[in-house]
Amino acid sequence: MTYVSTNPADLNDVVARVALADAEEFADAARLAKRAQREWAAVPAPVRGQVVANLGALVESNAEALARIVTREIGKPLAEARGEVREVADTCAFFVGEGRRLYGQTVPSEMPDKQLFTFRDPVGVTAFVTAGNFPIAVPSWYIVPSLLCGNAVVWKPAEYSAACAQAFHDLFVSAGVPDGVLNVVFAEGSQTYRGLELALEQRLVDKVGFTGSSEVGALIGELCGRHLQSPCLELGGKNPMVVTEDADLDLAVRGALFSGFGTGGQRCTSLGTAIVHESVHDEFLRRFTAAVEGAVVGDPFGDVLYGPMLDGKFAVSFEKYLGWIRDHHGVHGSTGVGRITGANPRKGFLGDPDSGLFYHPVVVSGVRPDDEVFRHETFGPLVGVTSYRSLDEAVELGNLPGYGLSCSIYTTDPRKVFAFRRGIGAGMVSVNNSTSGAEAHLPFGGNGRSGNGSRQSGGWVLDQFTRWQSMNWDYSGTLQKAQMDTPAIEADLDFRLEW
């Protein structure tokens, strides 16, 4: 079976054609990775780090071409695509040095002539299933540290970002990754799941990483649990932005505009609901509406806030989310709702709206806690707005949907910042900044419906792709039994000072 990847901004433009594998072929790729992994793990970690350095150099020298592939295939604005490429280079720059810092420890023993050690060892074969909204940045968070740690990789990218995946794979190969160590498998969802199931049953995969929806993540978590494995799950989000009564409203509007509508709202960290203090709610909504109405939407190679939906399946889903708008809601932000076409135009649209999967931005006011649009992720250009009275109420509203990926608070009061941080369940908190945006050396990940507490990026991710091994070495020449032959110190614990 062949999958055809098309440009979502120009549906007549075929970007790539790839053959889709079945479950057995997925398991075969894991088998190939398992055969190659031991030899790769035997390469000294600093030398593996040099391969990461090579990749970083290649990404930088191919940056513009890589960004243009991203923009053409998934419709991400070119400025954002360039930022994504920069993030890959930053990830490589960070992990180059980690090849010389895969430290263990020497640990003092409780007995003489005995030494204790700890070591970081690779887990073995890692299998990664990634979404296509960040078709190279998110895979780099998995693949780069996994390879650095001495693992082999099976990577199943999103089919709709096949050209991006192939280009990224070619850069890894050119950087010096040996045959069999990185294996790309294109497959649809059910065959991928069955392939993972086969690979786990045959003990071919030692760690699974998944970026995607909370629903699919739960299925993968259940599958891994049956094999006593803990996957790395980076799932959806319903990310709140709290705007306090003392906030800089213009700054808050800029943050809401970018985090709500950047990448067309198709990020796991996109703004879900702006929770605004009742005293500034109306003014915030007025300014936010004006900003959204004035934003340029359209051709992603132009200077636009966002381009098309990533793929047809997301357009179908977004139509469902628009159906969650009820009579008690207000709808703001554009000259229409739904797909942008010649018959349903967007004022100031850049390009030909009928050529691609473009959708009007939607700001929904009057959102209530029991609304579907409040409780569920709406992957697309839709932001809800609601109000609150006390900060405790704002925190409760932020936690209510059960996700816990990202959040932000706009305030000039440090006390509100730390009260919010303590109460919110998100893995990532921004202050006077958008809910979107990650740096390569900070932990990335969520809790609740957003993930299982695993973290990507920075040194924290090493715990996902290595296992701790302890070793004790007794050179006393006799058997010393822990907790039984420990030397005892005599003490007079009944001693009291006389004063």
Catalytic residue IDs: 234
Task: Please name the helix (run of DSSP H) or strand (run of DSSP E) that holds residue 471, with its range, or none.
Answer: strand 466-474
For the record, the structure tokens of 391 come out as 């900060």
- Candidates 465, 340, 455; CA nearest to 405 is 455
In angstroms, rounded to a whole number, what is the distance separating the alpha carbons of residues 268 and 234? 9
Contact 206, 123 (CB under 8 A): yes
HSE-CB for 353 with a 13 A CA cutoff: 17
- Give the burial string for 108-135 (b: 16+ CB within 10 Å, else e): ebebeeeebeeebebbbbbbbbbbbbbb
In angstroms, rounded to a whole number, what is the distance separating the alpha carbons of residues 223 and 219? 6
- DSSP class of residue 493? T
In angstroms, rounded to a whole number, what is the distance separating the alpha carbons of residues 453 and 128? 17
In angstroms, rounded to a whole number, what is the distance separating the alpha carbons of residues 438 and 407? 12
Residue pointed to by tokens 């998110």: 138
The beta strands (E) that lie in 258-298 are given as 271-277
- Candidates 240, 262, 172; CA nearest to 406 is 240
In angstroms, rounded to a whole number, what is the distance separating the alpha carbons of residues 462 and 479? 35
DSSP-assigned states of every residue in 72-100:
HHH---HHHHHHHHHHHHHHHHHHHHHTT
In angstroms, rounded to a whole number, what is the distance separating the alpha carbons of residues 158 and 135? 8
Classify residue 67 by burial, with Cβ atoms within 10 Å: 0-12, 13-18, 19+: buried
Contact 155, 128 (CB under 8 A): yes
